[in-house]
Amino acid sequence: MDLAGTTGPVALDERARALAAWKARLRVGALPDPGAAWPDEKLSAALVAALASLDLPRFCRRHPALLDALLMQLLGVVAEYEKRVAEAEAGMDEEAGQPPPPPPEQRPKGEPGEPDPDAPAGEGGMSASDAPPPDDDAAGGAAGEEGVDWEKAAAEALQSGTGGGAGQPRRPQGDTLQLALDSEEEDRQQAPQPDQAAATAAAANKQAAADEIAAALADEFEAEWRPVADSLGDAEAAFDDLSGLIDGPRGFDTAHALWRDDAGWREVAALSAKLERLKELRDLVRSLGRAAGKGPLRRAPAQVDAPRRPPGVLRSPLQPEETAGLARSGDLSRMLPHEAHLVAAGWPRGRGSPGQDGTTIITGSRPARLLHLARRAERTLLSYDRTGWLDGEPARTTGRLEVRPAAELGPIIVCLDTSGSMAGARETVAKAVALECARAARRSGRACFLYAFSGPGDVTELDVRLSDPDALARLLAFLRGSFGGGTDADAPLERSLARLESEDATAGGICWARADILMVTDGEIAPPSESVLSRLDAAKAGLGLEVHGLLVGRAGAPPTDAMRAICSHIHTFRSWSAVGVDGE
């Protein structure tokens, strides 16, 4: 409604329908029709070309939150276009010396039905239809007793006004209407005619100016959205789901620092490409966190019975739920009919011909009977696998993955060494781990917290749950930074244990007591203090805490005593070729 070209309800309705058509096309990922009635044809074609170059229809289809922001931006371009075009046309008219068009209620002098007050009487100042009736005394002789002949009097007045002067031929008397039309035609022919060539040139200049404005605005629109479109493409490649990340408090905001961080998104794109070749990192991150209780079937770390451990979910025949296949067992109720033939062959069966007592017993096969008894004792009878899952049994997690009804895994706590010795290829691996932890946490809907440590007291805390654009912007700022400083592992471990042991560990629906710790370092760290080690041992025994250590040091270097004291499991990074180096 605020556009300069919206002149009334009819124009408003037409433009609203055209805008709805644009929105409907973009919603399904298609380009709008550039030949629509609105916007202007040249501007519409330029905007459609910019949308195609940026591939924005595809983003609108995948992320509906982007659509309204894009349409508002397009409306702003149209408003600026109509404003600039109106200003350019007004400036051209002023340079040409053309007066502004008269208001609708005014008409130029000399039009039919309007007397010219500046023209003297008797000099062509009125037409036959406008001539006043002559005086009774002047026309009385002609009309006699029957009254005034108004038509004749008007004709005589017209003749005296147009050609009745001295030396001027007089018009022959005739029809009054025809005389009036002839007079108007003469005035029209005597009036100055506009220069058609000049008018055509002016119209061409105005159209050229409008085309230039349309091209400039389309270029500005494309330049503004280019970094946003590139960032959206990198975000789609790095994360499976962008819901919540592109929709801020006021909807999608192209001015947000997140979508203007070119260096951060370049780092994310490079790390994502490396993670595609680093399966060992993806598997390690996927195994972090401990599940408690049943849940949907999914690939999760297998659990085995372990006394004095936190409760878990174990597969057991004591809870038969379904037949999942075949297995070996010693249960007669579940064995296959194939195994029953040994029973039939080994036990007495049937009656023979009459003997002394009238019956003969046929004895069974003793080897078949013994074979069946041996299989049963060894629990190797081929049987139906009818098992289920026992919940709440003491269990520990193994490194093997299986499909199990496991609840969501617990949170992830990452202690990342950012000292100077981690610079170079080690820094790339460390940042790739941080990015993969953030992606895994977002994919599975769990929490992830990062402690980046270097020298004594130098610890940076970062929540990488990626629940909103601001959290993702902080992660990008960390990834584009550099490492440096000393190494002190006590501070991050103390903060991690404080988070696990805090009374509000389950606040906000996050049970930090089920979190695992991942320590990423090159191994060049001093042994932790005795208090930290004792708290770690207590958490391992009481909470089932598992501390995984990822060594990114020199190839073949054994784990240090400090890493053995801290970690429950130690993993050595070996895929240096995927990072771009032969080894460390």
Q: How open is the CA angle 493-495-498, to the nearest 5 degrees?
A: 110
> Is residue 105's pLDDT more than 70?
no
Mean pLDDT across 216-245: 87
Position 405 confidence tier, pLDDT thresholds 50, 70, 90: confident
Does 46 map to a domain? Answer: yes
* pLDDT score of 121: 43
Q: Are residues 341 and 276 in the same domain?
A: no
End-to-end alpha carbon distance in the chain: 65
Q: Same domain, yes or no, for 64 and 213?
A: yes
| 175 within domain boundaries | no
Q: Do 448 and 538 have their domain in common?
A: yes
Q: Are residues 454 and 564 in the same domain?
A: yes
Tell me what pLDDT residue 166 has. 43
Q: Residue 236: what pLDDT?
A: 86
Q: Is the Cα torsion angle 305, 307, 313, 278 positive or negative in sign?
A: negative
Which of 94-98, 353-357, 421-425, 543-547 is predicted with the least confidence, judged by mean pLDDT? Answer: 353-357
Q: In this structure, are 464 and 376 located in the same domain?
A: no
Residue 518: what residue type?
L
Q: CB of 495 within 8 A of CB of 459?
A: yes
pLDDT surpasses 80 at 261: yes
Q: What pLDDT is stored for residue 223 in this prediction?
A: 92
* 3-state SS, residue 480: coil
Q: Beta-strand (E) ranges in 16-102?
A: none
pLDDT category of residue 31 using cuts at 50, 70 and 90: very high
Task: Look at residue 388 in the predicted model and tell me its pLDDT.
Answer: 79
pLDDT category of residue 248 using cuts at 50, 70 and 90: low
Q: For residues 363 and 351, is the Cβ–Cβ distance under 8 A?
A: no
Number of Cβ within a 10 Å radius of residue 469: 20
Instruction: Round to whole Å and give the CA distance between 13 and 204.
Output: 29
Three-class SS state of 516: strand
Q: Which tokens in the block code for residue 527?
A: 């042994």
Domain enclosing residue 88, as ranges = 9-98+209-238
Same domain, 495 and 356: no
pLDDT of 165 reads 43
Boundary-marking domain end, from 357, 379, 400: 400
Under DSSP, the state recorded for 512 is G
- Average pLDDT for 523-545: 87
DSSP string, 202-227: HHHHHHHHHHHHHHHHHHHHHHHHHH
Q: Which of 400, 418, 449 is the last residue of a domain?
A: 400
Q: Which of 531, 518, 499, 513 is nearest to 563 (CA)?
A: 518
Indicate the SS3 state at residue 425: helix
Pick from 160-169, 260-269, 511-520, 531-540: least confident: 160-169
| pLDDT number for residue 169 | 46
- Work out the burial of residue 315: count CB atoms within 10 Å of its CB; fewer than 13 is exposed, 13-18 middle, 19 or more buried: middle
Report pTM.
0.62
Quick one: pLDDT at residue 150? Answer: 44
Element (H, E) at 350: strand 349-351
Residue 390 has pLDDT above 70, yes or no: yes
Mean pLDDT of 80-107: 71
Structural domain contains residue 249: no
Q: What CA–CA distance (Å, rounded) separates 542 from 44?
A: 67
pLDDT above 70: residue 136: no
d(CA 290, CA 515): 6
Give the torsion sign (CA, 419, 422, 427, 430): negative
| CATH code of 543's domain | 3.40.50.410
Q: CA-CA distance, 274 to 580, in Å (whole number)?
A: 9
Confidence band (pLDDT; 50, 70, 90) for 178? low
Residues 279 and 301 in one domain: no
Torsion of CA 504, 506, 509, 513, to 10 degrees: 140
What is residue 534's predicted lDDT score, i.e. its pLDDT?
Answer: 92
Share of residues in the chain with pLDDT > 90 (%): 16
196 within some domain:
no
Q: Within this chain, do residues 280 and 305 fall inside the same structural domain, yes or no?
A: no
pLDDT tens digits, residue range 479-533?
988 888 888 889 999 999 998 887 554 445 677 888 889 999 988 888 889 999 9
Q: What is residue 310's predicted lDDT score, i.e. its pLDDT?
A: 65
Position 15 scores a pLDDT of 87
Q: What is the pLDDT of residue 122?
A: 42
Mean pLDDT of the chain: 77
Same domain, 362 and 429: no
Judgement on whether residues 276 and 223 belong to the same structural domain of the protein:
no
Question: Is 485 among the domain residues?
Answer: yes
pLDDT above 80 for 206: yes
Find the mean pLDDT for residues 269-290. Answer: 85
Answer yes or no: do 518 and 417 share one domain: yes
For residues 436 and 302, membership in a common domain is answered with no
Tell me the percentage of the chain whose pLDDT exceeds 70: 74
Rg (alpha carbons) of the chain, rounded to whole number: 47
Helix and strand numbers, DSSP H then E, in the chain = 18, 12
The three-point CA angle 254-257-263 to 5° equals 115
Query: How many domains does the chain fold into?
Result: 3
Residue 52 has pLDDT above 90, yes or no: yes
Out of 358, 379, 400, a domain closes at: 400
Asked if 413 and 516 count as a contact pair (C-beta separation under 8 A), the reply is yes
Burial of 168 (0-12, 13-18, 19+ CB in 10 A): exposed
Q: Which residue has the higher pLDDT, 347 or 284?
A: 284
pLDDT at residue 368 in the model: 83
Within a domain: residue 468? Answer: yes
Residue 317 φ/ψ, nearest 5 degrees:
-75, -10
Flag whether pLDDT at 458 surpasses 90. no
The encoded tokens of residue 212 equal 């230039």
**Average pLDDT value for residue range 79-96:** 85
pLDDT in tens, 362-379: 667 888 888 888 888 898
Domain assignment present for residue 29? The answer is yes
- CA torsion sign, 439 to 444 to 449 to 452? negative
Q: What average pLDDT does range 325-335 have in this prediction?
A: 84
Q: Is the pLDDT of residue 148 over 80?
A: no
Question: With bands split at pLDDT 50, 70 and 90, how would you rate the model's confidence at 187?
Answer: low
Decide if 323 is inside a domain.
Answer: yes
